[in-house]
Amino acid sequence: MIYSKGQKEDEITKALIQWEKEFKGRGPTEAKTDIIRDMVIVSLRGVLSQAEQHLSRNLEGMALVKELRRQLVEQGRPQLEEIVNQITSAKVVTLHTDVSTRTGERIFVFVMDRHVE
């Protein structure tokens, strides 16, 4: 199927919300995707559980939450890349991500092998 840029952004947002729900057991409270040149940037807000929020009150807990989230993304990376590959018809070259234990926001930056339009 051929999507417009806005449709691709919407489809990626929906797919990543679904991935979060299936892979991690809960989804974000807000999500948005922007395609800029060869990058797909996804912002997910409200991703931390209450337990993770509680753990994040000190430095050791913050590090644990970040490491757990990093490992979960690494395990699900093939699925994430496939979602973005299918919707954009471009190939993911690299994936960068981080989660803020202060705000509960996760950012994904997918760098593609070409501009996505």
Summarised one tens digit per residue, pLDDT across range 83-97 is 999 999 999 999 999
Residues near 63 by beta carbon (within 8 Å), at least 6 away in sequence: none
> What is the pLDDT averaged over residues 1-13?
90
- Domain membership flag for residue 117: no
> Which structural domain range is residue 65 located in?
5-112
Give a yes or no: residue 103 inside a domain. Answer: yes
Per-residue model confidence (pLDDT) at position 55:
93
Query: Torsion over CA of 38, 43, 47 and 48, rounded to 10 degrees?
Result: 90
Q: Is residue 27 part of a domain?
A: yes
Tell me, what's the pLDDT at 25? 84
What is the number of domains present in the chain?
Answer: 1
Residue 88 lies in a domain: yes
- Mean local confidence (pLDDT), 63-72: 93
